Amino acid sequence: MSFKFAFITDTHLYPEAPQNYGGGTQIQESSVEIYETMIQQVEAFEPDFVIHGGDIVCGGDSFEMPPSHYQIALDHAQMMGEQLSAPIYYMPGNHDLDPQNGDKDLYLQRFGYDAQVVEDESQGLDGEQSMSAERLAYTSLVHDDLRLILLDCQEVEKDVTHGHLGEEQLGWLQTELEQAKAENQEVLIFAHQLLHPTEEFSELGWMIDNSEQVCEIIDCCDHILATFHGHLHLNRILEPDPATDNRRLTIISSGIICYPMMWRKIYVDQDQIRIVSSQLQLPELLAISSAAHDKRGQSLIGEEKDREITIDRRTPTTDSSN
């Protein structure tokens, strides 16, 4: 049993960009070229599937993106994603929200997942519940004995930088973890914002605002190997916090739109998961972005330990309790 997949995040695609943002570190004026190069390099990797960690485009309220440009960006991202031979699974970042009204409707039309949701528990004809199809921004994938859970941290009314997981999704998450435990599956969780504060990143803007609720669900689960995140535009791999019961890694990946323009290659086999960072081959744009950042982006690229790691896999038990 072995497979491989790619994790990309924070592409911030803006085909009609009037300027570069982030003090010049984000290269939106070349975002189409950057996205195309990323697609080419990911395709050459030949992954079994791809996960996009959010901030696909430059929506939300901080870029002041016109609604028409937002739709163009979403369409362009969808079109380029369809060029991949492997399936690509998306989850939203705060900049994937509609810049005009803050909702995810246009995002969900392109990148959402179908779900059957009980609409009304009142009895209909023949005593059946009324059901309706609904598009969701969270989902899970099972590949061999590994379950990958993709969360929607943007259950908010507008782009507020930090995220939030609603009660229905929290219940779904707990059910997913219980089912993984019962089926002897280890788990990787993917979320745009951080799910819990860390020593380096403790400000609300880095993470979801109901972190305590989420940690009550995940901290006691010994079959979660790691959580993957974007949002911070830098590489970090953080060891488990000894102050908590969790034994999982926190893996934060740099943004594609700015230096160091890296994405993660993830190799999975029966005994281990190997994570390797890969940089886009765009030397001129990398130099421009690096020069615009304090200390030439050294804090963004991180140390060697932030770019590559091997996770030893554990053997799940059949005990279904958390």
> Residue ranges of the domains in the chain?
2-113+134-312
CB 60 within 8 A of CB 21: no
Distance CA 244, CA 246 (A): 6
The DSSP bridge partners found for residue 110 are: none
**What pLDDT shows up at residue 133?**
54
Find, among 98, 102, 52, 87, the residue nearest to 229 by Cα: 52
pLDDT digits (tens, 9 = 90+) for 150-209: 999 999 988 889 999 999 999 999 999 999 999 999 999 999 999 998 889 989 999 999
CB 135 within 8 A of CB 147: no
Q: Give the residue carrying structure tokens 């998450």.
A: 173
pLDDT digits (tens, 9 = 90+) for 261-288: 999 999 999 999 999 999 999 999 999 9
Residue 294: band (very low, low, confident or very high) from pLDDT cuts 50, 70, 90:
confident
CATH of domain 2-113+134-312: 3.60.21.10
The structure's pTM equals 0.91
